[in-house]
Amino acid sequence: MVKVKKLNHSSILIEDKDIIIYIDPFKISEVKKADYILISHEHHDHLSLEDIKKILKKETKVLLPQSCAPKVLELKDNEIITFALNEKIDFDKFNLEIIPAYNTDKPYHTQEKDWAGFIITINKKRIYYAGDTDLIPEMNLLGDIDLAILPISGVYVMDAEEAANVTIIIQPEYAIPVHYGSIVGSNDDVEVFKRKAHCDVVLDEIEL
């Protein structure tokens, strides 16, 4: 079983009996130490050194876009791994695919910045973390997805209705909405997403 838990804002915790993975930890209260920390892009609500340090241990690996590397120079005691879009990385207990994440009609996450979403394959389950993105053509090429983690707030990312349309395109079994309730987005966005999504919607945690 793989347990996936929404923390704060867009932060996600993925764990099974062998591994603990955090994505974009921000204002989290979790104390479990990470084996891997994945960072999608450099904005403060996704790359938070304060939160990264809360969950670091000596063996923790931190993965992030090449452009973000200068922001984590003080983490000199940990292994820092930079990635490129469309790269695939195989680790002992999971596989990672780097997926583009960008705005199509907004200036906040432009395509040329090469910021990322992720597909994590663990225990034969494929988990798609979309990152800060709009509905983009690359979503048509993702293949089978068990769980989609999608931003829904609008303003900086796609809104709840667009996120629901993503579930039509990628047909996940489950979806977790994120990017609401902290900086932007509200429970109204959640209700729209729950009503229009073409899959089961989970708000807190799920075991796959």
Torsion of CA 121, 185, 37, 17, to 10 degrees: -50
Q: Left, alpha or beta for 86 (phi > 0: left; psi -120 to 50: alpha)?
A: left
- pLDDT at res. 181: 78
Give the position of tokens 């990672």.
Answer: 96
- pTM of the predicted protein model: 0.96
* Nearest C-alpha neighbor of 43 from the set 161, 148, 155, 189: 155
- pLDDT at res. 108: 86
- pLDDT at res. 107: 87
Residues linked to residue 88 through DSSP beta bridges, in sequence order? 97
* Nearest C-alpha neighbor of 23 from the set 128, 103, 111, 95: 128
CA–CA separation, 142 and 171 (whole Å) = 10
Contact 201, 193 (CB under 8 A): yes
**CA 123 to chain centroid:** 18
Instruction: Classify residue 40: in a domain, yes or no.
Output: yes
Instruction: Classify residue 150: in a domain, yes or no.
Output: yes
Give the position of tokens 């984590």.
Answer: 72
The type of residue at 149 is I
Instruction: Classify residue 208: in a domain, yes or no.
Output: no
Total domains present in the chain: 1
Contact 119, 100 (CB under 8 A): no
pLDDT tens, the chain, 208 aa long: 999 999 989 999 999 988 999 999 999 997 899 999 999 999 989 999 999 999 999 999 999 999 999 999 999 899 999 999 999 999 999 999 999 999 998 988 898 888 999 999 999 999 999 999 999 999 999 999 999 999 998 889 999 999 999 999 999 999 999 999 777 777 889 999 999 999 999 999 999 9
CA–CA separation, 76 and 80 (whole Å) = 8
CA–CA separation, 125 and 140 (whole Å) = 19
- pLDDT at res. 174: 98
CA–CA separation, 2 and 33 (whole Å) = 17
Instruction: Classify residue 26: in a domain, yes or no.
Output: yes
Q: Which two tokens stand for residue 106?
A: 């907004």
Structural domain containing residue 11: 3-203
Q: For residue 26, what is the domain's CATH number?
A: 3.60.15.10
